[in-house]
Structure 1
Amino acid sequence: MNDYKTLNDPESQQVSDFHHEDDEVFSYANYRIEDWIALILFWALALTVFSQFVSRYVFSAPLGWTEEVARYQLVCLGFIGGCMGIRNNSHIFVSLFHQWMPERLSVVIYKVIGCFNVVFIAMLAYSAWQIIPLLHIHKMASISLPISVLYGVVFASLLIMLLRSSQFLIQLFNPSHTTNNTQAPTSCD
Structure 2
Amino acid sequence: MSTQSIDDMPHVMGDDGEFHAQDEAVDLSGTIAEAWVALGFFWVLGGVVFYQFFTRYVLNNSAAWTEEIARYLLIAVVFTGATIGVARNNHIQVDFFYRYMPARMGRVMATVVDVLRIGFFAMASVLTLMMMQKLGNNSRMTMVDLPMNWVYGICLAGFIAMTFRSALVARRHWQRGYSVLERPMTEITDN
Aligned to 2:165: 164
User: Given that residues 87 and 164 in structure 1 are in contact (C-alpha distance below 8 angstroms), is that contact kept between their aligned partners in structure 2?
Assistant: yes
Deviation track 1:138-164 (CA, whole Å, cap 9, x = no partner) reads 110111110000011011111110110
Structure 1: distance between partners of 2:121 and 2:59: 45
Amino acid of the structure 2 residue aligned with 1:166 = A
Aligned to 2:177: 178
Aligned to 2:72: 72
Structure 1: distance between partners of 2:130 and 2:27: 39
Aligned to 2:109: 109
Quote the sequence identity (%). 30
Amino acid of the structure 2 residue aligned with 1:170 = R
Report how many aligned residue pairs link the two structures.
164
User: Any stretches of 5+ residues in structure 2 without a counterpart?
Assistant: 1-21
Aligned to 2:28: 28
Aligned to 2:144: 143
Structure 1: distance between partners of 2:114 and 2:132: 27
Aligned to 2:37: 37
Taking only aligned residues, the RMSD between alpha carbons, in angstroms, comes to 2.3
Amino acid of the structure 1 residue aligned with 2:154 = V
Structure 1: distance between partners of 2:96 and 2:177: 23
How far does residue 28 in structure 1 lie from its aligned partner after superposition?
3.5
Structure 2: distance between partners of 1:103 and 1:88: 23
User: Given that residues 83 and 161 in structure 1 are in contact (C-alpha distance below 8 angstroms), is that contact kept between their aligned partners in structure 2?
Assistant: yes
Deviation track 1:10-47 (CA, whole Å, cap 9, x = no partner) reads xxxxxxxxxxx933x32332111111001101111111
Structure 2: distance between partners of 1:95 and 1:173: 18
Distance 1:63 1:124, change over 3 A: same
How far does residue 183 in structure 1 lie from its aligned partner after superposition?
4.5
Amino acid of the structure 1 residue aligned with 2:45 = L
Amino acid of the structure 1 residue aligned with 2:116 = F
TM-score by length of 2: 0.78
How far does residue 100 in structure 1 lie from its aligned partner after superposition?
2.6
User: 78-87 or 100-109: which moved more?
Assistant: 100-109
Structure 2: distance between partners of 1:126 and 1:133: 11
1:118 aligns with 2:111: no
How far does residue 67 in structure 1 lie from its aligned partner after superposition?
0.3
Distance 1:95 1:178, change over 3 A: closer
How far does residue 105 in structure 1 lie from its aligned partner after superposition?
2.6
Aligned to 1:11: none
Structure 2: distance between partners of 1:127 and 1:85: 22
Aligned to 1:15: none
